[in-house]
Amino acid sequence: MTWINRGGMEAQVLEEIRDELKELRMLYEELVGCLVAEDTPTPEEKEAIESDDELADENELWKALR
């Protein structure tokens, strides 16, 4: 007899494991939500995220590094 074919006892154990995993996922999501702040971007940050990137040439890079 295999483990799967033993009957309802194993199905009940599997259901309990699934329920506990769901609870652990919810607790983890809540913990992460408390630890990691979700900031809304400022208008400048939002513009930077949505706008096309500008490429700097070598001279601009050297000026920035000086």
Q: How far is CA 13 from the centre of its chain?
A: 29
Where do the structural domains in the chain lie, given as residue ranges?
Answer: 4-65
Give the integer Cα–Cα distance in Å for 19 and 11.
12
- What's residue 1's pLDDT? 40
pLDDT at 33 over 50: yes
Give the integer Cα–Cα distance in Å for 22 and 32.
15
User: Which is more confidently placed, 15 or 54?
Assistant: 15
Q: How confident is the model at residue 25 (pLDDT cuts 50, 70, 90)?
A: very high
Is 16:23 a contact under the CB 8 Å cutoff?
no
Single pTM value for the model: 0.45
- 53's tokens: 């990137």
